[in-house]
Amino acid sequence: MVLASGTGLPISTTHTLVGAILGVGLARGMAALNLRVIGTIAMSWLITLPAGAGLAILFFFMFKGMFG
């Protein structure tokens, strides 16, 4: 978060919250982390990019057909 803020990269509150929770968990030791939840979070971030692109393409052609 410090690196992203220092370089001017955008960062969301979701990234901040997840980073803080993982940081506290790591401070308490690896046993304090629920790796299944971490995997779910990482997978949802990976799925978001292609899903957002697909929806953008869908809406583009839908609106192009309606108004173009």
- Are the C-beta atoms of residues 24 and 9 closer than 8 Å to each other? no
pTM attached to this predicted model:
0.62
Query: Cα 44 vs. chain centroid, distance in angstroms?
Result: 7
Write down the pLDDT at residue 19.
84
| Phi and psi, residue 8, nearest 5° | 85, 15
Given phi > 0 = left and psi -120 to 50 = alpha, else beta, which region is 29?
left
Question: Which runs of consecutive H residues, i.e. helices, occur in the chain?
Answer: 2-7, 13-28, 35-67
More confident residue, 66 or 18: 66
Write down the pLDDT at residue 14.
81
